[in-house]
Amino acid sequence: MVIKGCIFDLDGVIVDTAKYHYQSWKRLAAELGFDFNEEVNERLKGISRMDSLNIVLSEGGVIVSEEEKVDLCFMKNEWYKEYIVDLDESELLPGVKKFIEQLRKDKIKIGLGSASRNAKSIIKGIGIDHLFEVMIDGNDVQKSKPDPEVFLRGSTGLNLDPKNIIVFEDSRKGLEAAISAEFIPVGVGIPELLPEANFHIQSFENLSIKQIITHLAK
């Protein structure tokens, strides 16, 4: 197994901004007159803002026009941006920066593949944009996960074959996207919630790429 690159999802993998998405969707649901819980929120992981809105509206039994949907997406995103305006390096999940820095020392190329339209600004805001050769976010793609477009654009930017790239994902739709295009899927989180992954990690703390390759080879 030859690993030449790694592509990272953002929310739940590099930073824990997923909590701010949850707060924003919950606030929007309250404005529309219904409750929004964490169980529904789990279904929004890895998909586009509009697809997420459609799920939220469906849960609340709310029907609006396409124009109103655009306005609601804008409102939700403005709240989200308010929550993340002061993000800094302290928001990084444990061990992830050190892990990425070691990958670079090992000459492994690094990419970002996120459905979030704010992904690039978040990466720059927390000061780690210099660690990535390529960053693909929701502004760069037409299709959301489980379509693999975001990862395929990342592999093109890295000039690597998907078969030589590990994708780190915390969502089932993201893992499905990686598998469909023959990337190597590694789940970040609880194994039972991410059955699609070839290998699972709970955290990047005290983790090396050699450990992952050894487990994948088995």
Would residue 11 show up in a list of annotated catalytic residues for this protein?
yes
Catalytic residue selected from 11, 140, 147, 170: 11
How many C-alpha atoms does 44 have within 13 Å on its Cβ side?
29
- 170 labelled catalytic: no
Pair 185, 76: CB distance under 8 Å = no
As a whole number of angstroms, the distance between CA 177 and CA 108 comes to 22
Q: Which residues contact 41 (CB under 8 A, 6 or more apart)?
A: 21, 22, 25, 26
- How many Cβ atoms sit within 10 Å of the Cβ of residue 31? 12
Cβ–Cβ contacts within 10 Å for residue 78, how many?
10
DSSP H or E run through 199 = strand 199-201
Helix extents (H) in the chain: 18-32, 38-42, 49-60, 66-84, 96-105, 119-125, 149-158, 172-180, 209-217
Q: Any idea what DSSP says for residue 92?
A: B
Task: Cite the active site residues.
Answer: 9, 11
